[in-house]
Amino acid sequence: MPSQIPASVRQRPLEDAIERVLIDADALAGRIRELGAVISRTYQGQDLLLISVLKGSIVFMADLIRAISIPHEVDFMATSSYGTGTQSSGVVRILKDLNSSIEGRNVLIVEDIIDSGHTLNYLVRILQERGPASLRIVALLDKPERREVQTQVDWVGFSIPNDFVVGYGLDYNEIYRNLPYIGVLKADVYRGK
């Protein structure tokens, strides 16, 4: 039988799983307007391709592109990292590759969160090999305490503490991506109590 959302999750209002709101919708919108403005200035008059790393970055990507005032294209990649729920093994795999070549193009990777840094490290390595004219990174959230490998990040929306966060694209077991804010998940949800 295909997997389904468990009944216990379906019957619980989404907000019940949230301990507290860490970044509300207004703060997200304000910071994304700033990021859009700086990205627009940086690439003014130049070619620009935004690459969204699925699935977590979908909501950030959708708002960011509307905060960017210059012409640009979008593409999507999906990766998965092996490891247990909270520990990354550092091994990253491509689930979906780009639709087109990035050779000679200005590429901006759009990530929802940098945690251990392994995903971004891997992406930068494989995309650099494809010969872009430039490669920059914008991440909505950064959890510096969790870093295992150093990564280059050009723009960060918010630096956050080591809390389990969901919402605004970020999930726990694929749920909570539709919350319009970044919230801290109650411990009983991820401990299964």
Q: Which residue among 114, 124, 135, 182 contacts ligand PRP (CB under 6 A)?
A: 114
- Region near ligand PRP per CB under 6 A, out of 40-48, 61-69, 80-88, 153-161: 80-88
Q: Is 107 left (phi over 0), alpha (psi -120 to 50) or beta?
A: beta
Query: Would you count residue 115 as binding ligand PRP (CB under 6 A)?
Result: yes
**C-beta closer to ligand PRP: residue 37 or 78:** 78
Q: Is 111 exposed, middle or buried (0-12, 13-18, 19+ CB in 10 A)?
A: buried
Count of residues binding ligand PRP (CB under 6 A)? 18
Would you call 115 a catalytic residue per the annotation? yes
DSSP letter at 85 equals T
Q: How many CB atoms lie within 10 A of CB 106?
A: 18
Q: Which residue among 39, 61, 110, 113 contacts ligand PRP (CB under 6 A)?
A: 113
- Region near ligand PRP per CB under 6 A, out of 33-41, 43-51, 53-61, 130-138: 53-61
Per-residue binding string, ligand PRP, 134-173, x by CB under 6 A, is: -------------------------------------x--
Query: Would you count residue 111 as binding ligand PRP (CB under 6 A)?
Result: yes
**C-beta closer to ligand PRP: residue 40 or 164:** 164
How many Å from the N-terminal Cα to the C-terminal Cα in the chain?
25
Residue 20 CA: distances (Å) to CA of 17, 24, 59, 183: 9, 10, 20, 6
- Angstrom distance (rounded) from CA 9 to CA 15: 12
| Least Å from the CB of residue 70 to ligand PRP | 25
- Region near ligand PRP per CB under 6 A, out of 25-33, 64-72, 110-118, 127-135: 110-118
Query: Would you count residue 112 as binding ligand PRP (CB under 6 A)?
Result: yes
- Give the relative orientation of helices 58-67 and 25-42 as an angle to the nearest 10 degrees: 60
φ/ψ of 192, rounded to 5, equals: 70, 30
- Tell me which residues are annotated as active site: 115
